Amino acid sequence: MCSGELPLRALRVRVRPDRVEVEIVVAAERYAQTDSKLIAECLGHVPTLGQHACRNSVGPVFAAVMRSTSTPHLLEHLVIDAQTRAAKDPNRVFTGTTQWSAGDGLIAHVAFSYEDDLVALDALNRSLSFLNGVLIDQRG
């Protein structure tokens, strides 16, 4: 990693009528996966993170996989949580997906629904900033 390079970076952001699509570049393998220490820090900031519905092979909520998933997947849930807290409609449900790129193991495609595109982009920026800060503190 070059000096000053962030662990996670949004390479491309595309706002569609029903979702925001983001191509996330992970700077190095050491930033690619979550662990218990990273999740503990995130739960201190976002206590509801583990309660999110999440389609995965282990269980019905994000807590089932959050200690051993990709950091872009964690980013997806941080963005969704931030949007949920900022939503005008308290019953609004936000959804998202995360998938590693077939061509590059350190690029992920993250997509998430939104109520307001400006709120969604702000949530993305704040979530990236938070997660990058924690990753740098914990992993250098």
Residue 24, pLDDT > 60, answer yes
pLDDT at residue number 1: 44
CA 128 – CA 65 distance, rounded (Å): 20
Give a yes or no: residue 40 inside a domain: yes
The answer as to whether 3 is a domain residue is: no
Q: Does 1 reside within a domain?
A: no
What is the domain range of residue 102? 8-139
Helix (H, G, I), strand (E, B) or coil at 98: strand
Measured distance CA(29)–CA(59) in Å, rounded = 26
- In angstroms, the Cα distances linking 121 to 17, 26, 112, 127 are 14, 19, 11, 10
Interatomic CA distance for residues 43 and 29, integer angstroms: 23
**Which residue type is seen at 11?**
L
Structural domain includes residue 44: yes
What CATH number is attached to the domain comprising 92? Answer: 3.30.1360
Write out pLDDT tens, residues 58-117: 999 999 999 999 999 999 999 999 999 999 999 999 999 999 999 888 999 999 999 999
pLDDT in tens, 26-65: 999 999 999 999 999 999 999 999 999 999 889 999 999 9
pTM of the model: 0.95
Q: Is residue 131 part of a domain?
A: yes
Considering the domain boundaries, does residue 97 fall inside one? yes
How many domains, the chain? 1
Per-residue DSSP letter, 58: S
Cβ atoms < 10 Å from Cβ of 138: 14
Q: Are 100 and 107 in contact (CB under 8 A)?
A: yes
